[in-house]
């Protein structure tokens, strides 16, 4: 059930070393291949509000059902940033159980690429204000990737998806994650 863009270990370097210098203002280097940076939220925020003894889940990533709460699909929220940066937030969409079921059935089939679903973003994502509880639409950009949040009738989300945001402001909550390298390669 894996789609390639849910990985957050894809820190490939061209020729064995980073080809782009870290930004002078924030110390974060753009991806050498020009791909968006990636931050992944492991689970919907609602899980933190449920007592572990009462938490009853089915599935995992990218399909997660929480008994008594709802149905969640892994999606990407793409944000355009200044100075050649971009970031893909791996987040969750709370969807209707019928869409959950249909997506589960089409996931590995050609029909997946035409799939559209609506739902509610399942994470608070800093530095943005808490998102309004409104429907957003997710569509498939690439059959090998999880769906992308692509539009909403809500003006907050329309602005989030269409504007180019100051990169240092958006990346600062994640600076440690984005700058940290493991002590040893491999
Ligand atoms: Zn910077």
Q: Which residues contact 109 (CB under 8 A, 6 or more apart)?
A: none
Number of domains in the chain: 1
Predicted TM-score of the model (pTM): 0.86
Q: How far is the CA of 1 from the centre of ligand 1 (A)?
A: 35
Residue 19: the pLDDT is 54
> In terms of DSSP bridges, do strands 63-66 and 57-59 run parallel, antiparallel, or are they unpaired?
antiparallel
Provide the domain limits for residue 138. Answer: 27-179
> How far apart are alpha carbons 67 and 58 in whole angstroms?
8
User: Which residues have a beta carbon within 5 Å of ligand 1, which is an ion?
Assistant: 23, 25-26, 168
Asked if the structure places residue 15 within a domain, the reply is: no
Which among 124, 122, 127, 144 has a CA at the least distance from the CA of 136? Answer: 122
Token look-up 């509000």 returns 49
- Which pLDDT does position 180 carry in this prediction? 63
pLDDT computed for residue 31 by the predictor = 83
In a domain, 13, yes or no: no
141, part of any domain: yes
14 alpha carbon – ligand 1 mean position (Å): 21
Query: Average pLDDT by consecutive 10-residue portion of the chain (186 residues)?
Result: 46 48 88 90 95 95 96 98 94 97 96 96 94 95 96 96 97 88 56
Q: Looking up tokens 């600062």, which residue turns up?
A: 172
164 within domain boundaries: yes
Distance 135 CA to ligand 1 centre (A): 32
| Three-state helix/strand/coil letters over 108-169 | CCHHHHHCEEEEEECCCCCCCCCCCCCCEEEECCCCCCCCEEEEECCHHHHHHHHCEECHHH
Instruction: Please tell me the predicted confidence (pLDDT) of residue 181.
Output: 62
In Å, the largest CA–CA distance within the chain is 50
Residue 14 falls within a domain, yes or no?
A: no
């Amino acid at each position: 059930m894996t789609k390639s863009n849910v990985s957050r270990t894809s820190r490939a370097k061209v020729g064995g070393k980073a080809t782009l210098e870290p930004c002078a203002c924030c110390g974060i280097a753009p991806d050498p291949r020009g791909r968006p940076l990636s931050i992944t939220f492991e689970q919907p925020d609602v899980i933190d509000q449920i007592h572990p003894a009462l938490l009853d889940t089915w599935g995992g990533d990218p399909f997660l059902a929480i008994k008594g709460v709802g149905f969640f699909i892994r999606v990407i929220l793409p944000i355009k940033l200044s100075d050649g940066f971009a970031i893909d937030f791996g987040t969750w969409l709370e969807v209707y159980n019928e869409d959950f079921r249909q997506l589960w059935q089409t996931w590995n089939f050609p029909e997946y690429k035409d799939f559209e679903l609506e739902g509610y973003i399942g994470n608070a994502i800093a530095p943005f204000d808490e998102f309004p509880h409104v429907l957003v639409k997710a569509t498939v950009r690439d059959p090998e990737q999880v769906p992308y949040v692509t539009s909403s009738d809500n003006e907050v989300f329309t602005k989030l998806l269409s504007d180019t945001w100051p990169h240092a402001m958006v990346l600062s909550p994640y600076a440690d994650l984005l700058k940290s390298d493991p002590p040893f390669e491999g």
